[in-house]
Structure 1
Amino acid sequence: MAFSYIGIPGEPWNEQHKQQWLAQTSVKRSYADEVLAKLKHVSEDFTQIQYGELSYNPSRFPLMAFKSTHWDEAKPTILITGGVHGYETSGVQGAIQFLLHDAKRYSAQFNFIIAPCVSPWGYETINRWNPNAVDPNRSFYANSPAEESAALMKLLQDEVNNTVYAHFDLHETTDTDELEFRPALAARDGKVYDKGVIPDGFYLVGDTDNPQADFQKAINDEVAKVTHIAPDDDGQLIGVDIEQFGVINYPTKKLGLCAGMTNNQFNTTTEVYPDSPKVSSEQCNDAQVAAIIGGLDYLLSLNK
């Protein structure tokens, strides 16, 4: 469903148009059942932190993160975030899967902070934006217009003073990006929608200002054991020149992206393609876990 018919062509949406858009959203799945219930099974190796709640429905949308119980200031800190775009399912479920089954075996080497579902309203409504038609993943800056982003930034400031060694931000690129969300973005901003191409496969978005090419390659090498890496489209992915096979770079801080929210030394944004006929939902979740494992194993190799 495209939203280009909302508003006046060539003019940005006003508040009435945003309310029109919001009225078309509906709850399609349960944050309580699919996220919070699973988080009850996290081991005592990780301490649960409620770092806020969404004003849209505070009791329904508590914001949950987990921090290594046996924190050691001498260890590097790893940040893992999922569901910044709530509709990107494997980002959420992959973060939970890693937290439940894999994080403990890396606890001797790293501290962890894991926020599995940054945008629970977006998760329930399968949406990229929050109810105010704001994209949380373009809102990681001071005085953020997205309360999802502001709450996560405050958590990182309070807990680690934004000092993070590596950040894995787990995302998906879906067919609905071109069928729904990018047309809606163009309409919201009063711009013309130019159709793009969705890559068939997994790829990574690194940081233009700190690309860490070997780190990105190690991640893709591990993910390739689980699912296919996206081939480029004439040297590009989603209209951006590739840096290497399966990797493009964005200026994360300039764009207000989640991956640029801390003073990290390494970061990556994963992009799983769940609509490919070649993959299952389980493979998508496994690919997110593989991305984290590939990155962590690379970081460990630096100190051998």
Structure 2
Amino acid sequence: MNNDNTYPIGTPGKPWGKEEKLAWLNVQSIKRSYQDEVLSKLDSSIKGFAKVKYGSLPSNPERYPLYAYMSEKWDTSRTSVLITGGVHGYETSGVQGAIAFLHNQATKYAKHFNIVIAPCLSPWGYETINRWNISAIDPNRSFYTDSPAPECSQLMSYVDSLPSPINIHIDLHETTDTDDTEFRPALAARDGLSFSDWGIPDGFYTVANTSNPQLDFQKAVIASVEKVTHIAPPDANNQLIGSDLVEHGIICYDKAALFLCGGFTGANYATTTEVYPDSPKTTPQECIVAQVAAITGGLDFALSLPTKNPREC
């Protein structure tokens, strides 16, 4: 951003058109390798799982294939779980946390659940360390029918093709200092709005569904993560990112109405995780471990429930 607090692309107060979006795209650059940091870790076989190519980014299909791992022996009587990472490509711990769970924990839990793991939905965003895709679209506001974001439409089509519906969805995210220095100012500029700094929560928290928060499930995730890293305290208004705190480390969003990844499956148990790797109280590696703890905490909670119809689990 410029020193006068205006974004360097576009005219303040005027939404971007094609010219401004192209100008934004032209200043993006590759900063890390999807091949080296993600695809190379997906080469090995995982006991009990099949590797599935469910699509690719049309901008560069060979460079950006999209992969998921799914339970090899799908049992429609079991609870089905979806784990997603990298909806926002810059959110490193979500991607690496999903991969770490895949390699270190997934086989154990596959004895009890049908599991699908899609570790990196936005590989171009991963390489360029971006929240948006190449069209300046936020994938995490684009999970709807005929979505213009291929990152969303291809995952939705794949999930729709599964043998049974998703009952548990854990969507792994993180917040970094660049949310307030780059991504939210860019969003305000793109939409012709003013930027207001709301501050970044220092620690882990979860975002539940407003209409179906399942707070016991959320609290189990928080309790598991709290063994690894600290939970974000509320601000002076008892809020996190402008939303009221409903329990320790838990806020709610209307995920379906906002077309968020965490809302498109309609899963009875759904949570979106957030960690803050720029905190002086933690490390990026600890945040990856926290993402794994969030997954295991949620799945352990499900295992503790009385036997139910999997659609209700």
Name the TM-score, length of structure 2 as normaliser: 0.95
Is the 1:92–1:116 contact (alpha carbons within 8 Å) kept by the matching residues of 2?
Answer: yes
Displacement after TM superposition at 1:43 (Å): 1.3
Displacement after TM superposition at 1:60 (Å): 0.2
Equivalent in 142, 154, 176 of residue 178 of structure 2:
176
SS of alignment partner, residue 245 of structure 2: strand
SS of alignment partner, residue 17 of structure 1: helix
Displacement after TM superposition at 1:165 (Å): 0.8
Displacement after TM superposition at 1:179 (Å): 0.5
SS of alignment partner, residue 77 of structure 2: coil
Displacement after TM superposition at 1:7 (Å): 1.0
Q: Which runs of 5+ in 1 are unaligned?
A: none
SS of alignment partner, residue 49 of structure 1: strand
Is the 1:136–1:146 contact (alpha carbons within 8 Å) kept by the matching residues of 2?
Answer: yes
Is the 1:83–1:89 contact (alpha carbons within 8 Å) kept by the matching residues of 2?
Answer: yes
Q: Partner of 1:94 in structure 2?
A: 97
Q: Partner of 2:216 in structure 1?
A: 214
CA–CA separation in structure 1 for the residues paired with 2:214 and 2:90: 28
Equivalent in 250, 268, 278 of residue 281 of structure 2:
278
Equivalent in 69, 86, 104 of residue 107 of structure 2:
104
Is the 2:220–2:298 contact (alpha carbons within 8 Å) kept by the matching residues of 1?
Answer: yes
Task: Classify 1:250/1:83 alpha carbon distance in 2 versus 1 (closer, same or farther; 3 Å).
Answer: same
Displacement after TM superposition at 1:195 (Å): 1.0
Write the mapping of 1:115-264 to structure 2, written as runs, cut at 5 A.
115-160=118-163, 163-234=165-236, 235-264=238-267
SS of alignment partner, residue 173 of structure 2: strand
Q: Partner of 1:51 in structure 2?
A: 54
Over residues 262-288 of structure 1, what are the superposed CA-to-partner deviations in whole Å (9 max), with x where a residue is unaligned? 121100000010101111222111000
Q: Which runs of 5+ in 2 are unaligned?
A: 308-313
Which letter does structure 2 place at the counterpart of 1:164? Answer: I
CA–CA separation in structure 2 for the residues paired with 1:231 and 1:180: 24
Which letter does structure 1 place at the counterpart of 2:166? Answer: V
CA–CA separation in structure 1 for the residues paired with 2:47 and 2:247: 40
Over residues 129-171 of structure 1, what are the superposed CA-to-partner deviations in whole Å (9 max), with x where a residue is unaligned? 000000000000011011100000000011246x111000000
Which letter does structure 2 place at the counterpart of 1:222? Answer: S
Aligned pair 1:114/2:117, yes or no?
A: yes
CA–CA separation in structure 1 for the residues paired with 2:38 and 2:174: 17
Over residues 58-112 of structure 1, what are the superposed CA-to-partner deviations in whole Å (9 max), with x where a residue is unaligned? 0000000010011111111000000000000000000000001101111111000
Write the mapping of 1:24-35 to structure 2, written as runs, cut at 5 A.
24-35=27-38
- C-alpha RMSD over aligned residues: 1.1
Which letter does structure 2 place at the counterpart of 1:244? Answer: E
Q: Partner of 1:12 in structure 2?
A: 15
Aligned pair 1:300/2:303, yes or no?
A: yes
CA–CA separation in structure 1 for the residues paired with 2:244 and 2:228: 25
Which letter does structure 2 place at the counterpart of 1:66? Answer: Y
Is the 2:175–2:276 contact (alpha carbons within 8 Å) kept by the matching residues of 1?
Answer: yes
Is the 2:143–2:261 contact (alpha carbons within 8 Å) kept by the matching residues of 1?
Answer: yes
> Structure 1 segments of 4 or more deviating over 3 A?
none
CA–CA separation in structure 2 for the residues paired with 1:299 and 1:189: 40
